[in-house]
Amino acid sequence: MADHLIIEPADARFAADFATCDFSFEVTSEAVAPFDGPGLGGTRPVDAYRKTYDTDPADLMDAAAERDAALFVSRAEGRLLGYIALSKSWNGYAEIDDIAVDASARRLGVAAAMVDQAVQWAKDRRLPGLRLETQSNNVAACRFYARYGFELAGYDRYLYTALTPGTREVALYWYLRFDAD
């Protein structure tokens, strides 16, 4: 798959193509404290459920139009496989604001190719690295980030509690520092 993969800036096809993808994922486990990195610590099983984010492709396109931001898509044979939204964060790092891979294209190198693009985007701007936030119930993503070289650098156990009282989701903050290469 990675041989036929094209990473390019999102264009007018994005919203329509977005609607054809399944960016949900199955949660079967969650990360547990301590969240002291550099990688993910322990996990525990949970009753399986599907997680879907209410992402609006028009919002992604609008954000990408801002200065110091970008939206890249991955395609193979014209089909949308995933996207990655980037911006320059307040702390000078490039931020991965959102990344998603269609369920049918997971474990085929799509996410790694998109993060490679993010690394290049950040280095072209002479930024010191990448940062992102994900949740403790997205264990597959956490493991991917750790394999790629990101370090778990912090957490916020209250970030989602106003949105979903009683949630066990913990925000996990990951960094890929270029000076650490």
Q: In what order do the strands lie in the sheet with 69-76?
A: 5-9, 69-76, 79-88, 94-101, 129-135, 171-177, 151-156
Low-confidence ranges of the chain (pLDDT < 70): 1-3, 180-181
pTM of the model: 0.94
Residue 118 C-beta-side C-alpha neighbours within 13 Å: 34
How many independent structural domains does the chain possess?
1
Tokens of 93: 């790092």
Q: CA–CA separation, 150 vs 28, rounded Å?
A: 23
Q: Which residue has the tokens 């990101």?
A: 150
Contact 172, 136 (CB under 8 A): yes
How do residues 67-104 score in pLDDT, each as one tens digit? Answer: 999 999 999 999 999 999 999 999 999 999 999 999 99
The predicted pLDDT at position 3 comes to 64
Residue 171 has what pLDDT? 97
Q: Which domain holds residue 166?
A: 2-180
Check which CATH number belongs to the domain holding 74 and give it.
3.40.630.30
What does the pLDDT read at residue 8? 98
